[in-house]
Amino acid sequence: MKVTYFQRKPYDFHFSIEKLFDTIREHLSDQIKYSIYTLPFYSIGLFQRFFSSVAASRQQGNINHITGDIYFITPVLKKGITINTYHDFTFLKDSKGIKRFILWYFWVHLPVKYSKYVTVISETTKRELLATTKCSKDKVIVIPNIIPQHLQQHEHIFNSNQPNILHIGTTPNKNIERLIEAIKHIKCRLTIIGKLTKEITTSLEQNKIEYTNKYQISDEALEQEYINCDLLSFCSLNEGFGMPILEAQAIGRPVVTSNLSSMPEVAGEGACLIDPYSVDSIKAGITKVIKNKVYRQQLINHGLENVNRFNPQTVTGMYEALYQKIIDEQHK
C-alpha cells in the first residue's frame, strides 16, 4: 500500500494541517508506505490552482489523501482511491454571493462527489457537510484530530486575585468582542494570541483591559503561554474542532468554552460550558472558574482524562483502517 498525501503550499503562519499529518505519519505501521506531495503554487488565483491540479494528477498513489484546503484538485485524481479530509466549513460561512457559490461548488460539491470517502474531524463537521452536500452519510467518516504528545501536565498555582486568561484567535468566530465585555469588571490579565484589529484594540482600551498580545509565535512559545496562563477562554461562535481546548487540558488548565458547535464534543466533561452569544453567560462561567476552587480542580481532572481520547495511536489506527478498507474494496 502506498498513500500519497497531497498538501497545500503552506504560508509561514498557516501550517496546522501539515503538523497534524506529520504526527499521523510518524505513527503509521510499517505496512504503509507513503509520499508527500506539496502543491507547487499557493492556492491563489485560477492559473496557479490549474497548474497545481495538473501537477497533482501525476503524483497519485494506491490511495490519494487530500489533507485539507486544496480540495479543488480532487476531480483530477482517481475517484475510487481518493480521500478528502475536511476540518471545518468556516470558509463557506464567511462568504456570500458568487464567491460562496464558487467555494461551495469547487471546494465542497465536486470534491465530495469525486471522493471515495470523506473524513471530518467531528460530528458537528459531519452534520454540516451532510447538510451542505446531501451526500450519503456512509461516505463520511469521523476521525478526530490528535493532541500533540509533547504537551504534558504542568503544575500551577492558580492566581485567583488576578488570573491570566489566555484567549486563542482573533477572527470573527473567536468572539473576542463579547469576551472583552464580559471581563471588563473582572480583575484579570488577558493574553491574546492572534493579530489584533483596530476595533479590538479600541475595545480593549475603552474597557481598560490589561492585556498582552502575541502573533505568529512558535509552537514552543505557544506551549509556554498555556503553561503561564490560569485558564483558557475559548468562547467561539463556531469551530470545526477546537484544538486549543485539548491543548489547555493537556497542560492542566481549566477551560471555559462554548456550549455549541463541536466544542462540547471535544471538551467532554473537562470544560465550563457557556452561551457564547451571552456576555452574562461568559462572565458567569469565568467567574465560577476563578472563585470555585473545587469546581476548577474537577475541570482540570476531567480535562486530563479527556485528552486520552485523542492520542496519535488511536487516530492513526482509524486512518489505517480506512486505507485498508479502500484497498479491500478495490480487490472485490
Cβ-Cβ contacts under 8 Å for 101 (sequence gap 6 or more)? none
Is 62 domain-assigned? yes
Specify the pLDDT at position 258.
Answer: 97
Percent of the chain with pLDDT over 70: 99
Domain co-membership, 137 together with 232: no
Is 197 domain-assigned? yes
Domain co-membership, 225 together with 263: yes
Domain co-membership, 102 together with 211: no
Domain co-membership, 233 together with 273: yes
Please tell me what DSSP assigns to residue 192.
E
Domain co-membership, 174 together with 304: yes
Is 154 domain-assigned? no
Tell me the CATH number at 101. 3.40.50.2000
Is 159 domain-assigned? no
Phi/psi at 118 (nearest 5 deg)?
Answer: -125, 130
Which domain covers residue 68, as residue numbers?
2-146+311-330
User: Which pairs with CB-CB distance under 8 Å and at least 24 residues apart come from 256-261?
Assistant: 256/231, 256/232, 256/282, 256/285, 256/286, 256/289, 257/232, 258/175, 258/234, 261/124, 261/236, 261/237
* CA dihedral for 23, 315, 151, 239, sign (positive or negative): positive
Specify the pLDDT at position 222.
Answer: 93
- Cα separation, 222 vs 33, in Å, equals 32
pLDDT digits (tens, 9 = 90+) for 90-129: 889 888 999 999 999 999 999 999 999 999 999 999 999 9
Domain co-membership, 242 together with 263: yes
Domain co-membership, 91 together with 185: no
Domain co-membership, 176 together with 132: no
Specify the pLDDT at position 15.
Answer: 59
Provide the residue type at 58 as one letter. R
Number of independent structural domains in the chain? 2
